[in-house]
Chain A
Amino acid sequence: MEAVKGRFGLRAQVFVKKIWREYSVLVVFIVIIGICGLFAPRFLHPDNLLNILRNTSIVGAIALGMTFIIIAGGIDLSSGAVLATSGAVLILLQRMVNPDGSAVVPLPFAILACCAVAVGFGFVNGIIITQAKLPPFIVTLAIGILARSVTMYFCRGATIMGNNIPQFTDIGNGSVFNIPIPFIIIIVLAIIFHIVLTRSKFGTYVFAVGGNESASRFSGIKVNRVRIATYMIGGLCTGIAATIEMSRMAAVAATTSGNQYEFEAITAVLVGGTSLVGGRGRLVGTIVGFIILGIVNNMMIMLNILPYLSGAVKGAFILFAVLLQKRER
């Protein structure tokens, strides 16, 4: 009897271990939601939950692109500033109105221009990193500073209001069947990216380049092109994030738009279990990661935590989340 029990215990242990290894992010996720509901019953109200999804979509978009970059062994510290620059382009184009009230640049083109600017920054990041063989950390940091400065120059350091028309503001503020439009955009993007990452050759090369650059090169993979492509994907995501952010605010603030978003995005990716060393990671993890961050932000409002202390709570929480789902190596 004892023996049977022992074997069953061992089996259960193996099973739990396997579940933990594969789905630790989800487990942490559910535990967090449970705890939050316990502390603040209002938290579980559908309106609040949907609100979290809406708020978290902007950093979420950046985090999706960042996942590609980090898996390929890079990092992008310019995202927040690039969001401001491309957002400024969008606002400046969008507010130009003909005397008869129609837009000079149709909205879709303005959005395309915004995304193109962000992709362009990604391309520049990638080119410098691969051709000059400089560390991504330094290159993207410098490009970020540069982008922020350019934004402030174009906006003369001020906040510029956009044209407050519903077609524009609905992108960030509207809902379809009660589901926030930004979150729908993110989910569509995530599904496409997930397929690219897991089913396409390119996706596999991203993992290979991050896992072992020389082995990839010896296998005929064009390492530099893959690297540059990841930064351009990151740029595209930043452009989409900029569109959502600008639409929500209908304004761009030269100094504060997108500030620190790159760190929130990187945090989301890491909380989601993607390794900073490169070569491994999952997009699903990133989604859970940025939703967890959104929940933390939301809870601090719910629990009336002083804004001065929110950073301390967030920092401690991130450490806790990463420690909880740390894999045994």
Chain B
Amino acid sequence: MTAPLLEAQELVLQVDGRILVRDMSFALKAGEVWCLLGPNGAGKSTFLHAAVGLRAAQGGALHLGGKPLAQWPAEAAARQRCFLPQSFHDAFGASVLECVMLGRHPYLSRWQWEGEHERELALAALHAVDLDGFAQRDVLTLSGGERQRVALAALFVQDAPLLLLDEPVSHLDLHHQMLVLEHLVQLARDRGKGVLFTVHDLDLAARFASHALLLTPQATALHGPVDAVMTEAALGAAFGHRVTRIEAAGRVLFVPG
């Protein structure tokens, strides 16, 4: 029995004295795709930052691959989990290829340069996010959605067992939302990756995720298989807005009422 990729034990997260997450425990295992749901300011990004090690927890513990987060050396942690931040601010230009190959940083030794292997991985990842032919473009010339897909490609070449993504499809058009989420599901199914992503589109969450983690303004967290968590009552209470669950075209849809 292998350890869960990410495990929270009675986790407490606090921002400026406000408790966002209280005594949350769950385990994310290989092959599972979790959506992280909740209203604005409920602590979705805060939790992701804690899971990446960008902020400390105020109580409880976070384990990465069975080992407490703090015990992971920086480079080893970067080979175990990867993280997509919510936004990017490129102050300086660089080629798309260079930006994607940065994802191999944790695997290269100090004086090693990216070679043919890294280049091939990067081009394959660019293909996966439908950015063929973009390798030599300057990232400063890209649209928001294209820049986000470049960041996703960098994440794919980082090739960590656990993928933590903060709004991976927020800037993407319909087709590329599908493309990226299908790729994430495929990574979980075929290669045993664990995925945790925040998303505001409940329909996409229900369609692609196997599990859900729902944060509420009351600092309680619901978690479990998607169907068990994403009920009309729970979603309505969490978002403070009535939600009707319908089934159409073989899919589960949520209509705000």
Do A and B belong to a common assembly? no
Interface residues of A (CB under 8 A from B): none
B: residues with CB less than 8 A from A are none
